[in-house]
Structure 1
Amino acid sequence: MQRYKIDEMSCGHCVGTIEKAIRTIDPVAKVDANLGTKEVRVETTADRGVIVEALKAAGYDSLPL
């Protein structure tokens, strides 16, 4: 389980964009975004660095937890 803090995540549109960015890397990834804590949990076999880069390309800075 990978966890990321994404401070810019503030609405449902953000969640959708983040999920799409992650699923572009791993189509079967399980993504759980919590707007209250601004945390995203990802079950994936993809490398953490690749996920961070996908999030950055989508416009979101992330802090791996």
Structure 2
Amino acid sequence: MTDQEATLYYVSKQVFNFEKACDYFKSSDLFIKQPETKLITYANELNSFIETKQEKVRDLIFKWWKQQ
């Protein structure tokens, strides 16, 4: 198994739907969760990698967008 990473870009934060993005990955046989731990790995502002639940990632995304 190979670890890969991806970056998603959206034209407008007003139309972004995190749940729809997750559903798209699932329907395309792509995963944002690590299969064994069921956690998502993301890099924070210090470039440290953190594992957390999907709900936490959604909350972080919305928090970051509100700051922009």
TM-score (norm 2): 0.35
**Bigger RCO (CA 8 Å, 6+ sep):** 1
Tell which structure's C-alpha radius of gyration is larger. 2
Bigger proportion of residues as strand = 1
TM-score (norm 1): 0.36
